[in-house]
Structure 1
Amino acid sequence: MWNVFAATFAIAQLSPGDLHQSHAKLEGLSNCTKCHSSGAQIDLGKCLDCHKLLKQRIDANKGLHARPDYSDCVHCHNDHHGRDFEMVFWKEGQDNFDHDLTGYRLEEKHAELKCRDCHKPANIADPQPLLNQDKNLERTFLGLQQACLTCHADEHRGQLAEDCLKCHTYSGWKPANRFDHDKAKFRLTGLHRDVKCVDCHKEERDNRTADDPTFARFTGIAFQNCTNC
């Protein structure tokens, strides 16, 4: 009994408080050096020993954590304030975070979204690496890709390239002003230039969803003879 009391007393004297629930497994005197070096300083290298996914992004010079002014973990994160303490310090508030710092600028409609409109489990392409590190998919900001189809459905059903911005812009999604029909297999000449897209590219139905049951056919259209149309 005395040993238990002595150990509890020692922890109370040395630890400034309980760790956050995500670090709870590191509680106890024997684990202090997993985060701290001599002099009780946080060792940033030890942070990355556990946060391997962040280390990979930093080594690749990607994202917020690769920026020199955000290389110090305690700039935004603190601990020993209890199991439910908010681990992320948002200087201007989460909703006012400057997303440009991540290397991905939010433009037009994207700038109107809330963080969790995009950062949610359904949009994480490969959740397993995050789960392997005990990440809470409901809370993490990792795992998203910049490709449009990560969050958006494929309106063209795999007919066209996945780089939507080759044809579309953020400010003018429709019409696709960047698309040049002269680069297609059938060049528009004469009166063909005045024909509406839907006159040749007919809608087809696949009932993928109730909100989006149709799509336009862009490939496999016969055009070798005038009588095809």
Structure 2
Amino acid sequence: MMRRWLLPLSILALAAVRVAAQAPDLSPHGDLDVRCEVCHDASSWVVPSPSPAFDHATTGYVLTGRHAQAACSGCHEDLQFRRVASACADCHLDVHRRRFGTHCDDCHDTSGWDVRDASRAAHPATGFPLLGAHAVVDCDACHQGSPGEEHTTIPADCLSCHDADYEATRDPDHAANGFSTDCVSCHGMTASGWGSGSFIHSPAFPLTGAHATATCASCHASGYAGTPTDCYACHRPDYEGTDDPGHVAAGFSTDCRQCHSDVSWDGADFDHATSGFALTGAHVTVSCVSCHATGYTGTPTDCYACHRPDYEGTDDPDHVAAGYSTDCRQCHNDVTWEDADFDHATAGFPLTGAHTTTTCVSCHAAGYAGTPTDCYACHRPDYDGTNDPVHVAAGFNTQCASCHSTSVWQPANWNHDALFPIYSGRHRDEWNACVDCHVTPTNYAVFECITCHEHNRTDTDRDHQGEDGYVYQSAACFQCHPRGDE
């Protein structure tokens, strides 16, 4: 009986040993070389996720970020743990359809899929840096389209994203005014919103002065395209409404810049020199209407046109009676009427010597027009009244300049040698005073040769025998010896 049960028991024992020997092959984890108690405890096969005891780094794949928080079954769909691949695409669906490659970690990390911060930092590499409002907007706001193309086929021009903003804007109406669709022409890339826009007006029409603060609609009331840049186009009401002075009546230029700055209408500063009449002296401070009483167009530039009342009202000297030139500049400067300074040389009689300090009326007692320039006309009283020598009786030349200078009457300097040499020739140093020859003081036309030359008439007559016209008289001596030679 015992022997009959011995064989079956032996077979069971061998089977048990064999099963015991094959126990590792029956593990649901395959050839995972990890003891059961590392992950499991005696209470249950269920393992907390993640396993507090298992060091995933020992597999060569460190769990960080979201991976460290994921359930094991999230990656290990069955219990054969070693059969799980480690590439991103093995677990994660590539929504970009491999347009950015298969390495998710080129853009993403294990902290999460949201890579907006990293994308903004890397965005300059695309040629479109994220600045201003672009830096805070959600990526999906611009990156729309078919899956896999929403990041690679996005145009970089403004209108592609902002066409709706452009078309909807009414103040001003961008579409109606033909504004550029390049938003950055007016709006800054660094701005946090559309704001009021800041169009760079130069160089065609730089905004300076009051133009810099005026509203756009002030000039662009009928639109922006084709707006003229000349002053009159905008400022016609100002031009036509001005009456001090009346611009229209005066025929002023419609180019406001000729007189006004772009800061204020006040303080107009017309460059009068451009009219051919530069303002200097008293003309600088006089009011415009003083000369332009009847308007500005065609105003004459000659002195008399404005100063006729001054000319005709002057009686010291009387300009009209004297026949003075109506060109005031011949005597006056443009600072004051006083200190007139007539260039007498222009009259053919330059003032020299004592003539420069004498009063005008001394010579022009009877007026100025036709005043003679010869000496005797003014100095006849001097000529007639002189008795040392007596000019009248002596028959002196009435051309005072023959003997006198314009500085003083004395000393006279008559060129005697031109008539008879007494400072040269035989008579040099042979006389002491005029009366040596001019024995009649009241008449210098009378002279004596015989009284000086102690000739014996008998000898003189003998020496001149045969000389035609010989007479023993001084006049005869001069007739034959006009230069005093023998």
Give the TM-score category using the shorter length.
0.3 to 0.5
TM-score, L = length of structure 1: 0.46
TM-score, L = length of structure 2: 0.24
Instruction: Considering Cα pairs closer than 8 Å and 6+ residues apart, tell me whether 1 or 2 has the greater RCO.
Output: 1
Larger radius of gyration: 2
